[in-house]
Amino acid sequence: MIVALGCNLPGAYTSREALLEAAVAALPSEGLEVIARSGWWRSAAWPDPDGPEYLNGVALVRTALPPAEALAALHRIEARFGRARGEANAARTLDLDLVAHGRTVLDGDLIVPHPRAHDRLFVMGPLAELAPAWVHPILAQTASALADKASVGRDARPEGASGEQTRSGH
């Protein structure tokens, strides 16, 4: 499973980085085992670039949960971190998106893979860093190719050094 993480408000944490690190650490409490994760990427707020800058990343996750239950688990974690759902594209403490769940394709109340992730550099860039050869289950294109073509968040860039990869338990 691929989970995109992002925020542009630190909430109760000292920084956005600290919040996102805590969110990654919270995933296993919901049955979502982190196998690896990208480094953090910065990008301007969208659609209003005058808002606080975003920090984003991607985690590869192992889970026995089906897609709807995995998404519900992500929403519970968001709520624990102070996410209040309201206005679309508003500043937020934590955004966790289910980008893909194996090769599963769903087109109902829950759409998998995420219907817009492939066009967002702040998702595809970190994913290409982590798993460049990952192939989109519908578009049949790699994460690297999708990152090259992404039209939203073209200013997204890795923070500092190229991202680190972490394995579960480290």
Q: Which residues are catalytic?
A: 83, 92, 95, 97
**Residues in contact with 105: Cβ distance below 8 Å, sequence separation at least 6, in sequence order:** 112, 113, 137, 138
| CA–CA dist 154, 169 (Å, integer) | 33
Instruction: Judge contact between 77 and 96, C-beta under 8 A.
Output: yes
In sequence order, what are the beta bridge partners of 97?
4
The CA-CA-CA angle for residues 17, 124, 34, to 5°, reads: 55
